[in-house]
Amino acid sequence: MFQIWKSKYPDSLFSVTYKRGFQPKIKPLRKQNSPYHKINDVIDKLIYNNKIDTELINKELIDTKLIDTKLIDTKLIDTKLIDTELINKELIDKELPYYDISNEVSLQTLSSLYRDLFFISLFYPEEQLPPKLSNPLNYLEEILDTNYKIDHSYIYCLNNVFLKLKNNPHDYKSYEVIRSINNTETYIKIQAAMNSYTPELINLQQKILESADLKRIKDLSYFLVQHYYILNSILELYSIIKPIEISKQDTIIPSIYKLFQLDSIILDRPRDHQEYIDYNLDMSIEVDLINVIKSDYNCSLVFLRNLNSLNLFERNKNLLSLIRDIIANIEVDRNLLSEKDLNEFIMIKMINLFN
């Protein structure tokens, strides 16, 4: 019997709800407030390029504070290049305080600290992280229910943007990034835009499961169509940065895979995200979703559209096997399809049976 989704960890920064989807519970701070304000100064002084051309120093295009604080040895100015990794390490060692955050209770502050300390840690080799970074990060990892070594999608992307006023949240250009290096702004904005669809996605997945349980075939077909439109909108954004393979780091694609009873990559995710993924699989099996879909040729065709979009984005043997099973199921009633639907069915069949 269908049971509506309820967050298992409602107080978590990454709790899953109908209102927010997979987006964080609160908006992050742009800058750290007192007593953590020195973090802002450190980030402002970090050097993002691998090397500094010393000619820029002579032209005063490099922050002179770096020289004043002796983070750049003036003897090196006469040389051609300066090692910025060493400069950044010395900056962090000298100017970043060791913060005891065990008494901090503000979720907004904690999440913003997590983002900024993670950002600073990117300038250190992981095995060399000093305690002033590793200790608070490990503490925040436990408190905020995520993993800074793995869950970049959550800490570095979803907790790192602001939506510009009156702009479309589904347009990645509507976002302003707080912290970024190495040309990652587009990557971060696209993650935010994709996740802006997740409140609607979760609601549709609930309607699909409920309709299957009640055997409301017309409703099921309708909600599968809407799911297909949302899925394509998300995949269109994915395609812009697919080489980065962010689909393996977030929750969107795995939640869809499990809804359709398909295998997905197992990674460390926030607990409530993983709970939702597991819920989708359990409830899909409970309401016998696949067999209910297969009982109607219209539902089967709409379902096939969803599967085909997934397969065009990311090839998967398990997915292809289900596609071929649905194609065989539709073949039995293909004479009932309209001319338009039949042409679409033949095209999808050719794509998936001969490739």
SS3 sequence of 93-123: HHHCCCCCCCCCCCHHHHHHHHHHHHHHHCC
Cα(342)–Cα(62) distance, integer angstroms = 64
Query: Stretch 240-251: mean pLDDT, rounded?
Result: 62
201-242 pLDDT tens trace: 999 999 999 999 999 999 999 999 999 999 999 999 988 876
| Nearest residue to 242 (alpha-carbon basis) of 258, 229, 253 | 253
Contact yes or no for 120/42 (Cβ under 8 A): yes
Please say whether the dihedral angle defined by the alpha carbons of residues 290, 294, 295 and 301, taken in this order, is positive or negative. Answer: positive
Picking from 56-70, 136-150, 210-224, which range would have the lowest pLDDT averaged per residue?
56-70
Q: Count CA atoms within 13 Å of residue 75 on its CB side.
A: 0
Query: Stretch 123-131: mean pLDDT, rounded?
Result: 80
Report the percentage of the chain scoring pLDDT > 90. 50
Name, in order, each residue with C-beta under 8 angstroms of 290's C-beta and a sequence gap of 6 or more: 260, 261, 284, 322
17-53 pLDDT tens trace: 999 999 999 888 999 999 999 999 999 998 875 444 4
Both tokens of residue 339? 């001319």
Which pTM was predicted?
A: 0.84
Average pLDDT value for the chain: 84
Strand partners, 177: 161
> Rounded to 5, what percent of the chain is helix, strand, coil?
60, 5, 35
Residue given tokens 């071929």 in the structure block? 324
Picking from 106-120, 257-271, 300-314, which range would have the lowest pLDDT averaged per residue?
257-271
Helix or strand or coil: residue 166?
Answer: coil
Whole-number pLDDT of residue 238: 85
Cα(153)–Cα(159) distance, integer angstroms = 9
Q: In the structure, what pLDDT confidence band is assigned to residue 8 with cuts at 50, 70 and 90?
A: very high
Higher pLDDT, 145 or 78: 145
Picking from 151-160, 163-172, 234-243, 296-305, which range would have the lowest pLDDT averaged per residue?
151-160
Picking from 82-91, 167-176, 214-223, which range would have the lowest pLDDT averaged per residue?
82-91
Cα(127)–Cα(119) distance, integer angstroms = 16
